Amino acid sequence: MVFNTGAALLDGIVLAVVSKDIEGTYGYRITQEVREILEVSESTLYPVLRRLQKDGCLDVYDQEYAGRNRRYYKLTQKGKVQLQLYVIEWQEYSTKISNIFNVAM
């Protein structure tokens, strides 16, 4: 992808991926789903997850899986509100960009 991804867009994408499962989802799965959209590394995503947790957008809990603990991330109420703000902002932003590109063609 030729476009750079800013922190806010990455936060919004991570919140959207986590929101797909009401019980939450684990870090590796989040990484795989985000990688379907963007070229990012795990070393980029885990700090995003920690920041979103620190900001109160994600709850974190551990659950045993195949004899090991797996860390799960779940949207908080604040995370749901933040995701909605990102969705609104993205719709407005992407519409403006699309309009500019359509005029250029």
Q: Is residue 47 part of a domain?
A: yes
State mean pLDDT over 16-27.
Answer: 94
Q: Is residue 1 part of a domain?
A: no
Residue range(s) defining the domain that contains residue 12: 7-104
Q: Is residue 51 part of a domain?
A: yes
Q: Is residue 2 part of a domain?
A: no
Per-residue pLDDT at 2: 62
- Collapsing DSSP to helix, strand or coil, 25 comes out as strand
Q: What is the pLDDT of residues 39-93, one digit of tens each?
A: 888 888 999 999 999 999 999 999 998 999 999 999 999 999 999 999 999 999 9
Enter the DSSP assignment of 24. Answer: -
Any idea what the CATH number is for the domain that residue 34 is in?
Answer: 1.10.10.10
Q: Is the pLDDT of residue 1 over 80?
A: no
Counted domains in the chain: 1
Q: Is residue 69 part of a domain?
A: yes
Count of CA atoms in the C-beta half-sphere (13 A) of 32? 5
H helices present in the chain, as ranges? 7-19, 27-35, 42-54, 77-104
Q: Is the pLDDT of residue 103 over 90?
A: no
The model's pTM is 0.89
Per-residue pLDDT at 42: 85
